Amino acid sequence: MELECQGVDVFKDVETLPEFSDVLKSDKVVEDYKKVFEDNSLEFSASIGPLPSGYGVTLAHPLRRVLLSSIPGFSITGIKIKGVSHIFSYIDGISEDVENIIINLKKIVFRSTLDFFVLHMKIDTPGPVYAHMFDYASGVEVLNANQYICTLASNVTFELEIFVQSGVGYVDASMLSIPDEYIKLDASFSPILRVSYEVADVRVGQKTDLDRVNFIIRTDGSVEPKHAFEQACNILIKQFSQMVSYVDDVEKQGVLPQEVQDSRWFEKTSTLDLAGRAKRFIEEEGLTYVGDLIQYTRDQIASMKRLGARTIEDIEKALSIKLDLRLGLKIKGWDAMRPKEGE
């Protein structure tokens, strides 16, 4: 299906950071085509640009990674076959062993609004078994209903139940939570079959060093490629927004989060067992805590009190041996973290 292409304008200021949140809403995206394949998979092409020089790979690489790893889909995570206790089994009267049956089952493509569901079949008629022979649950759609599963000989009853879950990425069977009566299977939830991109040079007016990214995204048909592309953009927006919020919170509070504070900073300098000029320097400067002391550099200490190299070495040696710390470490927000007098 051919989609109409639209004209695009270059960024007025090539130093401006591209807006992920607007990338699909603006005329910076040109949808070139979408193909439907015989196996129900969908392919979508998008051309993004013009972009400032270097931003082709900067935008394309993380988008590709997110598309391949973080778009939700469905996978069979457990099976139950009557008379079978493990996957390394053979079933009398069936041409395939259990491993090959599982391989065929894994090719079934599901679409649903449910988080998980169970499908069951009981076949006693000789011949091939296909995905459309399941007793379908409400709200569940099998996109490749003609997917082959196995072949039955005469006088054989094949009773199969599958447990299907939604998720993202690849999950090892040991990490899955499913009912105990099922044989657990590794799950590959991603509906994305292929993502490729090419960065091309583009010229607009006198600017000749601009980028254009040509994306090709292919899915198993359970999700529209364009929708997956939008999801990937939104995932990145959310992650970057959280990073910005984190920085804002740190600046507002004036302290580092508790998990990145170091308990060694709050040790009393008296525990370093320093003597002589080193001890007098710490007392005169009011360096009660190790966090006070380690923010000084060698040169600062030498210039302030005209301490000799030997005295400074004594301080450094005590910090290193007792706490594995050194001079010259800057602690952002130390004034707010530092225990108040009397605490």
Fold type of domain 261-337: DNA polymerase; domain 1 (1.10.150)
pLDDT > 90: what percent of the chain?
A: 35
Write down the mean pLDDT value for the chain: 81
Please state which CATH class domain 73-188 belongs to: mainly beta
**Alpha carbon separation from 129 to 123, 229, 265, 295 (Å, rounded):** 8, 35, 68, 73
Residues 43, 214 contacting (CB under 8 angstroms): no
Q: Output 31 or 118, whichever has higher pLDDT.
A: 118
**Domain residue ranges in the chain:** 20-71+192-248, 73-188, 261-337
Distance CA 219, CA 42 (A): 5
Which pLDDT score is estimated for 10?
Answer: 33
Highest mean pLDDT among 16-30, 81-95, 240-254: 81-95
Residue 13 has pLDDT above 50, yes or no: no
Strand 207-219 and strand 42-51: the pairing is antiparallel
Pick the closest to residue 237 from 73, 72, 59 (CA basis). Answer: 59
Residue 215 has pLDDT above 70, yes or no: yes
Which pLDDT score is estimated for 273?
Answer: 81
pLDDT band of residue 218 (cuts 50, 70, 90) is very high
The average pLDDT across 110-119 equals: 93
Residue 72 DSSP label = -
Which pLDDT score is estimated for 185?
Answer: 94
Which pLDDT score is estimated for 84?
Answer: 87
Residue 100 has pLDDT above 90, yes or no: yes
Is the N-terminal amide bond of 50 cis, ω within 30° of 0? Answer: yes
Residue 187 has pLDDT above 90, yes or no: yes
| 135-139, 160-164, 221-225, 247-251: range with lowest mean pLDDT | 247-251
Residue 11 has pLDDT above 90, yes or no: no
Which pLDDT score is estimated for 250?
Answer: 55
Which ranges in 164-275 belong to alpha helices (H)?
225-253
Which ranges in the chain belong to alpha helices (H)?
55-70, 98-105, 225-253, 276-285, 290-293, 298-305, 309-323, 334-337
Structure tokens at 213: 């990214």
pLDDT > 70: what percent of the chain?
A: 82
pLDDT band of residue 34 (cuts 50, 70, 90) is low
Which pLDDT score is estimated for 141?
Answer: 92
Give strand pairing partners of 121.
160
Which pLDDT score is estimated for 246?
Answer: 64
Which residues does 123 contact at the CB level (< 8 Å), separation at least 6? 129, 133, 152, 157, 158, 159
The average pLDDT across 318-341 equals: 81
Highest mean pLDDT among 74-78, 277-281, 339-343: 74-78
Query: 230-259, pLDDT tens digit by residue?
Result: 999 899 988 888 777 666 665 555 444 444
Residue 287 has pLDDT above 60, yes or no: yes
CATH number of 20-71+192-248: 3.30.1360.10
